[in-house]
Amino acid sequence: MRFCFVLGFAAVTSAFYLAEQDEFHFKSWMAQHNKAYSMKEYYQRLQVFTENKKRIDRHNQGNHSFTMGLNQFSDMTFSEFQEAFLLSEPQNCSATKGNYFGSNGPHPDSIDWRKKGNYVTPVKDQGGCGSCWTFSTTGCLESVTAIATGKLVPLSEQQLVDCAQDFNNHGCNGGLPSQAFEYIMYNKGLMTEQDYPYTAMDGICVYKPTMAAAFVKNVMNITAYDEMGMVDAVATHNPVSLAFEVTSDFMHYSQGVYTSTNCHNTTDKVNHAVLAVGYGEENGTPYWIVKNSWGPKWGMDGYFLIHRGKNMCGLAACSSFPVV
Ligand SMILES: *[C@@H]1O[C@H](CO)[C@@H](O)[C@H](O)[C@H]1NC(C)=O
Ligand SMILES: *[C@@H]1O[C@H](CO)[C@@H](O)[C@H](O)[C@H]1NC(C)=O
Ligand SMILES: *[C@@H]1O[C@H](CO)[C@@H](O)[C@H](O)[C@H]1NC(C)=O
Ligand SMILES: *[C@@H]1O[C@H](CO)[C@@H](O)[C@H](O)[C@H]1NC(C)=O
């Protein structure tokens, strides 16, 4: 009897100790990310955070090519995250036959457009709006324009959110870079970030053609699943917009080469658009270097690496870039 009691007591104290530790981690994370909650929400968020942290710790004890870590999303469930940041419905992303025909190489072993010159703008933050596609679009057009003109100018996502509906884009509810390039081409221009600033909300189109700062002459769609075509485009031309499927493990990505068995490799599942700014290989694992739009604190200074050559998470399903 006494034995039981002692054991029970030890279990309670250690559970108490663990809960205290969880709260300690949560509070320091809250301070780091400037979070504040109502009393009721505090306990709910503490629980979600603790589950996420367990998952992260478990992942990091295993043998994986990437590590997970706490970040600004650590108090969210994946469905909340999905709702806030990802494309909610399947996009029309299937250039079954593209108009870009790359060569099979040989290509350089690695390329990083961030290091080749002043060709890539700092990482931006889309906030709580499903506008990833606009950041992938501006990121690509900024780089292509800078490579052509020598001038790197941040361009307007908000113009695409507000004005590009006629090309199957839906503002904060999603769209595709290829369709946004089409909009810019037919609309004859895109304004700068400074002249048409980002609000992370759907708004009324206030595009002023006289203030257009970047233009598109043609849109290059890379044939679906032609990942070698993407390599050729990045090696010989410029960074390339791509879309892929984000699943719950990606939300906690910290560093290393991301791979997943949770995601699909088909066009109908892609839910996030980003920008490939280069590629390389690490310990025999080929990867893409990808610019994200979740701020510079997420991942590797706002970037991530993802396995290259296996159409990982459908990343080769619908890639494109503009010609200026
Ligand atoms: C970890 O995984 C890599 C790649 O799958 C493998 O080569 C290596 O042997 C593994 N290491 C351990 C300690 O299991
Ligand atoms: C896909 O294309 C069809 C036909 O053009 C259009 O009606 C539909 O809204 C598009 N879907 C999305 C998600 O844009
Ligand atoms: C490229 O893709 C866009 C939308 O995904 C499409 O409207 C356009 O016709 C395609 N362009 C070519 C040349 O195939
Ligand atoms: C998708 O994955 C399946 C199963 O691994 C594979 O057989 C198929 O070739 C892949 N399809 C594409 C388009 O990458």
Query: What element of type H or E holds 73?
Result: none
∠ at Cα 166 (238, 83), nearest 5°? 75
Residue 134 sits in a domain whose CATH number is 3.90.70.10
Residue 2 lies in a domain: no
Is-catalytic flag, 104?
A: no
Q: How many other CB atoms sit within 10 Å of the CB of residue 138?
A: 30
Is-catalytic flag, 59?
A: no
Is-catalytic flag, 60?
A: no
pLDDT value, residue 104? 86
Q: Out of 292, 307, 311, 318, pick the active-site residue.
A: 292
Residue 8 lies in a domain: no
Is the Cβ atom of 221 under 6 angstroms away from ligand 4? no
Is the Cβ atom of 311 under 6 angstroms away from ligand 3? no
Structural domain of 168: 78-323
Q: What are 286's two structure tokens?
A: 């080929």
∠ at Cα 303 (88, 202), nearest 5°? 35
pLDDT in tens, 108-154: 999 999 999 999 999 999 999 999 999 999 999 999 999 999 999 99
pLDDT value, residue 90? 80
Q: Structure pTM?
A: 0.93
* Same domain, yes or no: 199 and 257: yes
Crossing angle of helices 132-149 and 177-187, rounded to 10°: 60
Q: How far is the CA of 90 from the centre of ligand 2 (A)?
A: 9
Torsion-angle region of residue 159: left (phi > 0), alpha (psi -120 to 50) or beta? Answer: alpha
Q: How far is the CA of 62 from the centre of ligand 1 (A)?
A: 10
What spatial distance separates the first Cα and last Cα of the chain, rounded to whole Å? Answer: 81
Residue nearest to atom 13 of ligand 2 (CA): 91
* Same domain, yes or no: 50 and 191: no
Q: How far is the CA of 206 from the centre of ligand 4 (A)?
A: 43
Please name which of 77, 75, 81 lies closest in space to residue 25, comparing C-alpha atoms. 75
pLDDT value, residue 96? 75
163 class by beta-carbon count within 10 Å (0-12 exposed, 13-18 middle, 19+ buried): buried
* Same domain, yes or no: 54 and 95: no
* Same domain, yes or no: 56 and 155: no
Residue 193 lies in a domain: yes
pLDDT value, residue 105? 83
* Same domain, yes or no: 103 and 196: yes
Q: How far is the CA of 92 from the centre of ligand 2 (A)?
A: 6
Residue 9 lies in a domain: no
Q: Out of 132, 140, 313, 318, pick the active-site residue.
A: 132
pLDDT value, residue 2? 41
Is the Cβ atom of 179 under 6 angstroms away from ligand 3? yes
* Same domain, yes or no: 179 and 318: yes
To test the pocket of ligand 2, the residue of 87, 88, 92, 267 to mutate (highest count of ligand atoms within 8 Å of its CB) is 92
CA distance 283 to 271: 29
Residue 56 lies in a domain: yes
Those residues of the chain that have pLDDT short of 70 are 1-17, 95
To test the pocket of ligand 2, the residue of 168, 267, 269 to mutate (highest count of ligand atoms within 8 Å of its CB) is 168
Is the Cβ atom of 169 under 6 angstroms away from ligand 3? no
Q: How far is the CA of 108 from the centre of ligand 2 (A)?
A: 38
